[in-house]
Amino acid sequence: SREQVANFAAGPAAMLTPVVEQFGKDFVNFLDLGMGVAEISHRSKQGGGIVSSAEENLRKLYKLPDDFSILFMQGGGTEQFAAVLYNIYAHHAAKRPEVAKDLVANYVVTGAWSKKAYLEAERLGFPCHIAVDMKQVSGKYDSLPRKEDLNFTPADKTAFVYYCDNETVHGVEFNGPLEHVPEGVIRVVDTSSNFISRKMDFSHYDVVFAGAQKNAGPAGITIVFVRNSILERPEPKELHKVGIPVGPTVGDYKIMADNHSLYNTLPIATLHAINLGFDYMLAHGGLENLENESNEKSQLLYQTLEKYPLFKVVVKPEARSRMNITFRIEPESLEAEFLSGAEKLHLMQLKGHRSVGGIRASLYNAVTLEQTKRLVAYVEEFAKSH
Ligand code: PMP
């Protein structure tokens, strides 16, 4: 049953039970309309109400400055890898049309997801540069860049600096905004896997995006916070003239902002499920509480793993994710036994990403302290019996 299972999936991931229960009711009969939330128009009063309520809740949760817009988009984090390029190059064309197309997108690579974002820039043919690839520095993705590791292009030649706040596959998380970015450069951050898990000071960011399916609810919606100044851009035919590629309409931040995210059919049922989570979080102490809880849960697990030489936490202490705790068991042949023993206790979806193997426990917002303690107890017991 749902009560027995602790779900440590990396995403799509566990959702809060009260949210799932309310969503179930609303899926059948929303606001007593005699229709479910997936059966009404995104342009109806109730549909529009979901969009504005989700936006209002996010503004409250993050204390978002007024000069940021919130967009609800589709296509996942992966679409944003491309969208940030089209939108930010177009924005530069408004200011410096003659040089915009030659500006260089800088990527700070700390794991699989920032690497994929870089590869998308390369694939789409934008001028791009790896400011650092931590695998080159450290031999593997287990650490954060120091000042001397970062090699940015000069500010006036840079389109933006991009990084991933929490690397879901490797379990590497920044403990604050990326430092040492040259003054005046646009900063883009992927917060897909540590979204709404701590406060953020938006003075350090220009574009922040996150897929919903880890900390916020079901897959299908990507949340984008964008500084309004970035929305300024020439019309597509002007962009063509100066050699800036024009991306698809559905990825265009200005069109999405002008249409309050309702340019085309938004999956508002999905957004409703996400927004029920926002309601719950606001009623239970907001980001401060979520930050404290995530610290407590992750520290408890890391400290337990560190007690036993059987377990090897791969990531260096200062770079360890609060969300995705990755570790190996030595010898590695014991990992399958660890996983099957865990499943017998209903501790589910602990297998590491297929590209790296090992064990990964994702402790997102909907994973409770009690469930984390059950995992910790199992880790202890496994260590003592091996
Ligand atoms: N960024 C991060 C940090 C991710 O973890 C993921 C997905 N796991 C993505 C981007 C890609 O998201 P999507 O699958 O929604 O395109």
> Which ligand 1 atom lies nearest to the CA of residue 81?
10
Per cent of the chain over pLDDT 70 is 100
> Which ligand 1 atom lies nearest to the CA of residue 213?
15
Tell me whether residue 12 is in a domain: no
- Report the pLDDT value the prediction gives residue 122, as an integer from 0 to 100: 98
Give residue 321's pLDDT band: very low, low, confident or very high (50, 70, 90): very high
Domain count, the chain: 2
Say yes or no: 331 and 373 in one domain: yes
Query: Across the chain, which distance is largest between two alpha carbons, in Å?
Result: 69
CA count, 13 A, side-chain hemisphere, 180: 15
Nearest C-alpha neighbor of 81 from the set 124, 117, 49, 54: 117
Say yes or no: 40 and 167 in one domain: yes
Residues 74-90 have a mean pLDDT of 98
Say yes or no: 300 and 205 in one domain: no
Per cent of the chain over pLDDT 90 is 100
Give residue 191's pLDDT band: very low, low, confident or very high (50, 70, 90): very high
Last residue of some domain: 281, 306, 337? 281
DSSP assignment of 110-167: -SHHHHHHHHHHHHHT--EEEEEEHHHHHSSS-----GGG--PPPGGGEEEEEEESEE
Q: Calculate how far, in angstroms, residue 98's C-alpha sits from the geometric centre of ligand 1.
A: 34
Residue identifier of the C-alpha nearest atom 5 of ligand 1: 168
Tell me whether residue 61 is in a domain: yes
Tell me whether residue 20 is in a domain: no
Say yes or no: 267 and 300 in one domain: no
> Which ligand 1 atom lies nearest to the CA of residue 166?
3
Q: Calculate how far, in angstroms, residue 79's C-alpha sits from the geometric centre of ligand 1.
A: 9
- Report the pLDDT value the prediction gives residue 381, as an integer from 0 to 100: 98
Measured distance CA(29)–CA(373) in Å, rounded: 37
Quick count: other Cβ atoms within 10 Å of Cβ 386? 12
Give residue 2's pLDDT band: very low, low, confident or very high (50, 70, 90): very high
Tell me whether residue 261 is in a domain: yes
Residue identifier of the C-alpha nearest atom 12 of ligand 1: 77
- Report the pLDDT value the prediction gives residue 45, as an integer from 0 to 100: 97
Contacts of 236 (CB under 8 A, 6+ apart): 246
Please list every protein residue whose CB sits less than 6 Å from any atom of ligand 1.
Answer: 11, 76-78, 113, 164, 168, 190, 192-193, 211
Q: Calculate how far, in angstroms, residue 83's C-alpha sits from the geometric centre of ligand 1.
A: 14
Q: Calculate how far, in angstroms, residue 73's C-alpha sits from the geometric centre of ligand 1.
A: 14
Q: Calculate how far, in angstroms, residue 315's C-alpha sits from the geometric centre of ligand 1.
A: 20
Best of 113, 274, 364 for a ligand 1 pocket test (most atoms within 8 Å of beta carbon): 113
Say yes or no: 336 and 274 in one domain: no
Residue identifier of the C-alpha nearest atom 7 of ligand 1: 77
Nearest C-alpha neighbor of 262 from the set 230, 292, 294, 221: 221
Expressed as residue numbers, the domain containing 346 is: 287-384
Nearest C-alpha neighbor of 51 from the set 291, 375, 267: 267
Say yes or no: 137 and 84 in one domain: yes
Residues 268-275 have a mean pLDDT of 98
Which CATH number fits the domain that encloses residue 375?
Answer: 3.90.1150.10
> Which ligand 1 atom lies nearest to the CA of residue 222?
15
> Which ligand 1 atom lies nearest to the CA of residue 167?
3
Q: Calculate how far, in angstroms, residue 213's C-alpha sits from the geometric centre of ligand 1.
A: 9
Contacts of 294 (CB under 8 A, 6+ apart): 197, 198, 322, 323, 363, 365
Tell me whether residue 19 is in a domain: no
- Report the pLDDT value the prediction gives residue 359, as an integer from 0 to 100: 98
Q: Residue 22 burial by CB count (10 A; 0-12/13-18/19+): exposed, middle or buried?
A: middle
Measured distance CA(213)–CA(219) in Å, rounded: 4
Q: Calculate how far, in angstroms, residue 99's C-alpha sits from the geometric centre of ligand 1.
A: 31
Q: Calculate how far, in angstroms, residue 210's C-alpha sits from the geometric centre of ligand 1.
A: 8
Say yes or no: 293 and 358 in one domain: yes
- Report the pLDDT value the prediction gives residue 60, as an integer from 0 to 100: 98
Residues 279-296 have a mean pLDDT of 98
Give residue 175's pLDDT band: very low, low, confident or very high (50, 70, 90): very high
Measured distance CA(206)–CA(242) in Å, rounded: 24
pLDDT tens across 99-141, in order?
999 999 999 999 999 999 999 999 999 999 999 999 999 999 9
Say yes or no: 179 and 249 in one domain: yes
Contacts of 46 (CB under 8 A, 6+ apart): 30, 31, 33, 37, 40
Tell me whether residue 3 is in a domain: no
Say yes or no: 257 and 132 in one domain: yes
With beta carbons less than 8 A apart as the criterion, state whether 206 and 187 touch: yes
Residues 178-189 have a mean pLDDT of 97
Q: Calculate how far, in angstroms, residue 251's C-alpha sits from the geometric centre of ligand 1.
A: 16
Say yes or no: 242 and 303 in one domain: no
Tell me whether residue 171 is in a domain: yes
pLDDT tens across 11-66, in order?
999 999 999 999 999 999 999 999 999 999 999 999 999 999 999 999 999 999 99
With beta carbons less than 8 A apart as the criterion, state whether 110 and 140 touch: no
Last residue of some domain: 231, 263, 281? 281
Tell me whether residue 258 is in a domain: yes
Best of 72, 165, 193 for a ligand 1 pocket test (most atoms within 8 Å of beta carbon): 193
- Bridge partners of residue 133, in order along the sequence: 109
Q: Calculate how far, in angstroms, residue 95's C-alpha sits from the geometric centre of ligand 1.
A: 31
Which CATH number fits the domain that encloses residue 201?
Answer: 3.40.640.10
Measured distance CA(277)–CA(23) in Å, rounded: 10
Query: In the predicted model, what is the mean pLDDT of the chain?
Result: 97
CA count, 13 A, side-chain hemisphere, 138: 20
Last residue of some domain: 216, 251, 281? 281
Say yes or no: 228 and 342 in one domain: no
- Report the pLDDT value the prediction gives residue 332, as an integer from 0 to 100: 94
Best of 72, 73, 74, 78 for a ligand 1 pocket test (most atoms within 8 Å of beta carbon): 78
Say yes or no: 322 and 213 in one domain: no
> Which ligand 1 atom lies nearest to the CA of residue 10?
8
